[in-house]
Each structure stands twice: as C-alpha cells, then as structure tokens.
Amino acid sequence: MDETLKPVRIPPHMSIYADKHNLSHLVQSLVSSLVVDRPDDPISYLVDLLQRSRVDIPRVMLLGPPAVGKHTLVSLNTPGSGSGSGSGSGSGSGSGSGSSSSVVVFQAKRLSAELKAVHVTMEGLLEDQSELRALTEQDVPADLLVQLVQQRLKEVDCLQEGWVLEGIPQTRLQVLLLQQVGIIPDHVVMLEAPEEVLLQRAQGRLLDSLTGAQRLERGRGLSEEQLLAELQRYRCEVTGLRSAYQHVLGVINADQPHTDVYHQALALVQTRHYSRTPRILLLGPPGSGKSLQARLLSENYKMVNVCCGQLLRSAAADGSGPGALVQPYLDDGRPVPDSVVLRVLEERLSRVDCSCRGWVLHGFPLNLQQARSLQETQNQPNRVFLLEAPDHVCLERLSLRTVDPLSGERYHTVTRPAPSAEVQARLQTAPEDRLEEVTQRLNQYRVHCAALQSVYPDVIHINANQNHLSVFEALESRLTTN
Amino acid sequence: MANPREEEATVYLEKHKIMDLMENLTSMLLFHRPQNPREFLIEQLKLLKHCQQSGGSGPNLFNISNLDSVLGILDPTNQKYITFAQYKHALTMLGIKDFNECPEGVNEDRISHETFRREAKDGLQRSSATFAQL
C-alpha cells in the first residue's frame, strides 16, 4: 500500500476456477433474469433461481412455412410427449392445426423430446380457451396470444425444463410484444424449403385418424389454395421475423430427410456461446499449418502465441532460471527432456498476460506422457483442435519450403515460388525440412497420434488440407461454441 | 433514446444495488473457490437476507483483523497516527466508496488508528449491505 503502484496480479487459480464453473455465464444469467422479472425481493428470488436444478434451460423457437415439418421435430423431442407437450399429441403428427404442418411439426416434437423441454404450440395454448376455439390462429389477437404464452411459460415445468415454442410468433408484432414481456429465446431455428417441395409434401400427406400414423386416409390437410394462401402470408412475415431474431437465428434447409434436419437443428440448439479465456491446443502432423493458424488466432483474438520450440530457444537465450537447463541440450542437438520443457512452459503460461488474454499452444505435447503431464498442471487447455492432413500434403508443404538467406523471405516451390532466377539460385532449405527428416517426423507423429487423442476426448477435428483461410474460418466457428 | 423498459431496468438495478451485490458475490466466489459454487452463493445470499432483516453486518471479504494488518503496514513505527493521503488510499484499496473525507484530525494530517478503524468498519458495512432498505 505504498505510493508505488504495482499492477494487480490475478492469480491464475482464479481464472481457471472461473472457467471451470462458467462463472461469467452464471452471473450473466442471474442478472438478466433479475432485470427481466424485476422482483421486489431480489435476494430471495436469486436464492430460488440458484436452487433450481439447471440455470441453463433450453429456450428455443422453431419457425417455418406451412408444410415444412415443425411439429414432428418438436414432438419427437418431448419425453412422454403426451404429458409434456402443450398439444394433444394424438392428433399431433400431420396437420393438427391450420397452419403448422408436417415437417416443422415433426421436427418440433423430436427436439423437445431430446432436450427434455416442454413443447408449446398454438393449439395447446388455445385448448383451454373454449371461446377462442372458433377463431383460427391468424385471428387470435397478438396481445392475447402473448399473454397466453407468458402464462404457460411461467408454469413450473417450463421454468424447470425449458421450452420449445413451435410456430410462435408468426408476425413481427407478436415478436415485439413477446420481447417486451421478456420472453427471449436462446436459439431460433428457421426451416426453409422451396415452394414446390412444400406443396408436394402437403399433398402427399395422408393421415390415419385412428392411430395418428400416416396411412391411407387423406388427413385434415390443407387444400392447395389454402396452402398457397398460407405460404403467401408466411413469406410476407418472414423477413420481419428474421431481422428480429438475427442474433440467435439459424436457418436450416428442410429439403432433406427428416433425420438430417433433426440433427442439424439439434446441433444448432446445443451450441452455447460461452465467453471464456481461450486456452487452445493445436495438434496435428508437421506441415499441417499449426504455426500459421496459431499466428492468425493470436493476431485476431489477442491471445498469446506459445510455440514450444521458440519458447525453449528464447528461454535458453535468456540464460536464467529454467532456461539455463535448456541450453546444453540445444547445443548438443538432443531433445530437451520433458521435465525441463514442462517447467519452462508452466512458467510462461502462468504469467499475467497468458492468464488474462489466453494462449494458443502448439508444438507440445508430442506423446502420451507429455500430454498427461500437461493435464496435471493447472494450465489445461479448454479447446483442443486436431488439424488433419494426409501425409503427402504435409510432405509437399514442408520439403519444398526454402528460405532466401539474403532477404530472409520464405518461399515455397509450389505455392509461392521465388520471383526471379537469381533469387532461385540462392535459396536454401532448412536442415529440418529435408525429405528424410520430414518423413521421420511424420512417422513419429503417426505413432503417437492415437494416444494423444485419447487424452483429449473432445478434440475437434479440422480438415487442414485446404486453403489456410478456410482452415482459419473452420477454427473460428468452433472457438466459442460448446 | 432509451426506451422505457431500459430505464425501468436501470432504476431497478440501482435501487436494489444489484451490480454491487454481484461484485461482492463474485469476489467471494473467486477468493474462497468452493467446490460447489451455487450452494456457496445460496448460503451467502441467505446470510445477506438475514442481515437485511435484522440489521447486522453482511458477509464481506475483509474483517476487523484485516484492518489491524493494514494499519500495521501503514504505520510500521507505531506512531499511532497515519497521514490523510494514506488514509484515503487505504480506504479506496479496501473497496470502500463514499467514505468520510473529513475525519477527525484531518487538519493536522494526523488521523488516529481509532478513527481509521471506525471509518473503515462503517464503510465495509455499507459496502456489504447490497440491498434496498426495507
């Protein structure tokens, strides 16, 4: 507490703990629930909220044109879908209601079963309101609908398990009213299909009214003119809906088999965007582009780029502390023993810049033992990417690398040839890039590859056999999702 | 142009001192690092609720013995007084806002340990009382 100000050093334990329990997400959801509900007694409300089994309930809206398959997707997802789902599922598959029809309905069912969430549909909401039964869904006034939705979503089962809203909202006005009340979805899945497909589906859909299975009788489907009118109405509203939910929107092409649509929708709904300090590990054969991707990542996201080889060399040049131990090995050309590498690495990764900004590591671990020791330190990676490329691509990339000793520029015989003949004459290849060396390193990698992957069960595979920018895009898209 | 909902939200947050509450809770979580963060939070919130009703002092990271250690650092030769600059700096470090800028002894720039302890204790109590008065 003297006059000299020292920078505040947050011990790495704290950021690791915060990451492990997803604290920022927890606090954020607490505050957002408080602001939406504004209870008079926030402390008891918070206690209540924390005592519920999951803070992270799924909140999904499933939208789409008529005949696209919403209902099936939702209801296959309610467990014991009879009890949970707002719609009576006896009449469910097929055209229970006027406008929601087969594919959206189909998908809605499956999703709510998988997510163990409550399936809410328009007809479910209108079921208890006998005086409104006479009205078709379009005529239900927006504020009444919103009120019904609000009531339904406040019931205990929705609060505990989450909800999947199918086909609601349908107009921009409804969206605005829902937002005002505080019903905000985490994900909006929009199913799209070209018109001919929708028409075909509606026509082909037959319903067996007894068992609900689709057999021989023509169901209570829409006639073609009705369907076209519905579609027309939908097309008018869809741009409004899209812009309202653009930050959580995911569009899926419904012109595919049901299961494909379902899996895509499920993957979309299960992605959760967590912001956490990145601790990324890049694995992959030599030549797969790890250093390049690490450099791109650190430039774009301000994390610290830790290249193991360079780290060791700079520690040795430093000459003090653990670095002094490294020097004799580098001089002799022998590989540095694991314990020394780990010490140098740990020291680097516990520094303030790494614990605040995050890091991306490559060049370590190379085998099972090293990976296990890394897991035991407190600097475990929270994202592991495996850049996969076939052997011949790696060989080609590495063995044709050359450096111009005068200018220091790096060239590659195929992708970036030297500009002129005299530069070409000067080019040299680094000793580690010679064909034999590269082949040896590749073989080493292949031997340890499977073992390494076993230490990191949720490793994300990225195809590195493409242009480096596409690889980077693939990396980016998986960076923050769950 | 803030819409009415946003204004309502801001007013609510201020009235119930939600941001201060969240700050306190998070710092306690990060300091104690319990195995089960949600149970820990529930406990702290119950304690807070109790003190809201009975008027005692709420849960806080610092306590009286910490104040004594702070005084020990500020006044190593044990003269029994600290300067105003030290007093101000120490209170800000402890996280106390709106403390008394004119405590006893400010004119001679000698603030006694007792005054410091008193002001600090007051300030800590205020910062832990993150709720609207009932």
Position B103 in a domain:
yes
| Nearest residue on chain B to A180, alpha-carbon basis | B5
Same structural domain for residues B21 and B41?
Answer: yes
Beta-carbon separation of A1 and B45 below 8 A: no
- Chain B's closest residue to A179, CA to CA, is B5
Domain range enclosing B111: 64-128
| Residue at B134 is within a domain | no
CATH of the domain at B36: 1.20.890.10
Q: Do B45 and B69 reside in the same domain of the chain?
A: no
Asked if residue B69 and residue B123 are part of one domain, the reply reads: yes
CATH code of the domain covering residue B88? 1.10.238
Instruction: Please check whether residue B133 lies inside any domain of the structure.
Output: no
**Closest CB to A14 among B9, B30, B52:** B30
- Residues 3-32, chain B: which have Cβ within 8 Å of A? 5, 8-9, 12-13, 16, 18, 21-22, 25-26, 29-30
Residue A22 gets which letter from DSSP?
T
* Nearest by CB: B49 against A13, A44, A180: A44
Q: Are residues B123 and B75 in the same domain?
A: yes
Put simply, whether A5 touches B (Cβ < 8 Å) is: no
One domain, residues B115 and B68: yes
> What are A222's two structure tokens?
């829409």
- Please count the residue pairs, one from chain A and one from chain B, whose beta carbons lie less than 8 angstroms apart: 58
Inside any domain, residue B80: yes
Q: Are residues B22 and B68 in the same domain?
A: no
pTM of the model: 0.64
In a domain, B49, yes or no: yes
Q: What is the pLDDT along chain A (482 residues), one digit of tens a residue?
A: 444 445 556 676 777 777 777 777 788 888 888 887 788 888 888 888 888 756 567 778 877 777 656 666 655 444 333 333 333 332 333 222 333 345 667 777 777 777 777 777 776 666 666 555 555 555 667 777 777 777 777 777 777 777 778 777 777 778 777 777 777 777 888 887 777 777 776 666 544 444 444 444 444 455 677 777 777 877 888 877 777 777 777 787 777 777 777 877 777 777 766 666 778 888 888 878 888 888 888 888 888 888 888 888 888 787 777 777 777 777 777 777 888 888 888 888 877 777 778 888 888 888 888 888 888 877 778 888 888 888 888 888 877 777 777 776 777 777 777 777 777 777 777 776 777 878 888 888 888 888 888 888 888 888 888 888 888 888 887 776 65
Q: What is the rounded distance in angstroms from the CA atom of residue A397 to the CA atom of residue A23? A: 43
Q: What is the largest CA-CA distance in chain B?
A: 58
Q: Are residues B90 and B111 in the same domain?
A: yes
SS (H, E, C) chain B: CCCHHHHHHHHHHHHCCHHHHHHHHHHHHHHHCCCCHHHHHHHHHHHHHHHHHHCCCCCCCCCHHHHHHHHHHHCCCCCCEECHHHHHHHHHHCCCCCCCCCCCCCCCCCEEHHHHHHHHHHHHHHHHCCCCCC
What's the total number of domains in chain B? 2
- The reply to whether B69 and B40 lie within a common domain is no
B41/B91 same-domain check: no
- B119 vs B6: CA distance, rounded Å: 36
Q: What single-letter DSSP state applies at residue A80?
A: T
A426 interfacial to chain B (CB closer than 8 Å)? no
